[in-house]
Structure 1
């Protein structure tokens, strides 16, 4: 693993463990801004991190790359503490304005997010002055159809959210519901490859500078998923199970089966993998695989988060 590259003094990354995405704090003489705010249960920690870093200054702006719960779950807490402006992807604006829970992803994934407001929208091609640099908003559908990235040509920095990690990218959620997502993810990776990027700040994991290697891994993984879409569904279900377990710490197999009925993204993933009658067996098989990898512990009829998990 390579060491994390140095960043400009005006940019600080709070690398978070699951359940939260990374938070990127950008500070200049004009204003302070935070890109993505983590998960709801970590909101107090997010607030404390930002308060400590800013000292006597207030947070002026929140920028959300997309509205999955691990990226916007701290919005409400930060907004309650500071009267900060908030920018969200333009396509998500009507959904948030109405707080349409059928279209927001929180219920669909079995996750939570306190209601928040917004003051403006992020449109592809729009430019933002943050941390002393000029950033271009770039559309990044694939993992999420409304997602955006931020690119600063001067320092050759890309805030990639979940479109590109050092070792992959986020679950391609649209494909679970029969919508196109693989092609969009391919286009986003190709767009990143055309940018002059020295450092990527991902949504999860440390910043990295081995861009070509990361892209090669991402293209290879995408080809593997496209060859057999059930692989994306299986990965999605595993990710959502582990995420929920890290939140609640322990749950029964029966409770997990019930989640498939109430969380539509989980249900859609399960439907690609097995008939409804076989879902209990499917979940036991997945839990067994996750236990072998150390992602959870199976204790009789209960699933438990590993003791070392944060």
Structure 2
């Protein structure tokens, strides 16, 4: 296991387990900012973590790297607690302003997120002064077409969201809908490789320093997915099944089939793997594989999250 790198005193990471993304608290005299806010059902925990860290000080700013539910699900709760400004990726502004549920990802993935507002946007090339450092906004399409990363050259620190983890990266969702995502993910990894990075704060998992090794693993995984796009679809279904189970703890197989029928991203993934009539059999196959790996417990016609998960 690698040792987590030392971070500047003004940068604090709340490492969260699934369902929530990591939260990054950046504090200086002028501003207390939180990058990503976790999942809706963990919003109370997020609020408690931030309140404890800030003591009597209010949160001034929320920054969202992208608008998947595990990264923005705490926005509404934090905005209700503090009159904080909120920055979201510029490409997502219209759908949030209109709260266009057909284009937001929450219903498509079978997940939830309370409605929130925003006061400004983030675009590639812009700079933010947070935590005593200047951060460059870097576009990071691939996992999500609107996603961004934050890079501070002075401490050589990258907040990579789901573009790079120590062991891979997030599901390439655009490819499920027949849009380009693999090429964009390749370009993002190449961009990271050109940066002078001492430490990465990923969207999930602990911060890490061996960036070269992480990139090597990510490039290898991406090549494996591109060689057979059905692999990305299968991985997406497994991730979404496990995510939902961690949220609800238990569900019937019948409910899982209904979830597949109603969630557009899951349907799109299933369509790449089997004809519609075979979807129940596909789900049983995936549930069996997840059970063998310990990601869920199959109990007759019920599926359960492992007792220690979540």
Q: Distance in 1 between matches of 2:55 and 2:308?
A: 31
Task: Please state whether the residue corresponding to 2:112 is helix, strand or coil.
Answer: coil
Counterparts of residues 113-132 of structure 1 (less than 5 Å): 113-132=113-132
Q: Distance in 2 between matches of 1:208 and 1:129?
A: 23
Q: Distance in 1 between matches of 2:190 and 2:295?
A: 32
- Could you tell me which residue of structure 2 aligns to residue 89 of structure 1? 89
Shift of 1:145: 0.1
- Could you tell me which residue of structure 2 aligns to residue 215 of structure 1? 215
- Could you tell me which residue of structure 2 aligns to residue 162 of structure 1? 162
Matched, 1:172 2:172: yes
Shift of 1:271: 0.6
Task: Please state whether the residue corresponding to 1:135 is helix, strand or coil.
Answer: strand
Counterparts of residues 250-261 of structure 1 (less than 5 Å): 250-261=250-261
- Could you tell me which residue of structure 2 aligns to residue 286 of structure 1? 286
Deviation by residue 1:249-308 (Cα, 9 ceiling, x = unmatched): 001111111111110000000110011111111001100100111000000000000001
Give me the TM-score of the superposition, normalised by structure 2: 1.00
Q: Distance in 2 between matches of 1:128 and 1:11?
A: 14
Gaps of at least 5 residues in structure 2 are none
Gaps of at least 5 residues in structure 1 are none
Q: Distance in 2 between matches of 1:277 and 1:228?
A: 23
Deviation by residue 1:57-97 (Cα, 9 ceiling, x = unmatched): 00000000000000000000000000000000000000000
Give me the TM-score of the superposition, normalised by structure 1: 1.00
Q: Distance in 1 between matches of 2:123 and 2:285?
A: 42
Two-structure CA RMSD over aligned residues (Å) = 0.3
Task: Please state whether the residue corresponding to 1:83 is helix, strand or coil.
Answer: coil
Task: Please state whether the residue corresponding to 2:272 is helix, strand or coil.
Answer: helix
- Could you tell me which residue of structure 2 aligns to residue 147 of structure 1? 147
Shift of 1:119: 0.1
- Could you tell me which residue of structure 2 aligns to residue 68 of structure 1? 68
Task: Please state whether the residue corresponding to 1:105 is helix, strand or coil.
Answer: coil
- Runs (4+) of structure 1 exceeding 3 A deviation are none
Task: Please state whether the residue corresponding to 1:45 is helix, strand or coil.
Answer: helix
Task: Please state whether the residue corresponding to 1:58 is helix, strand or coil.
Answer: coil
- Could you tell me which residue of structure 1 aligns to residue 270 of structure 2? 270
- Could you tell me which residue of structure 1 aligns to residue 5 of structure 2? 5
Q: Distance in 2 between matches of 1:245 and 1:137?
A: 34
Q: Distance in 2 between matches of 1:288 and 1:237?
A: 13
User: How many pairs does the alignment contain?
Assistant: 310
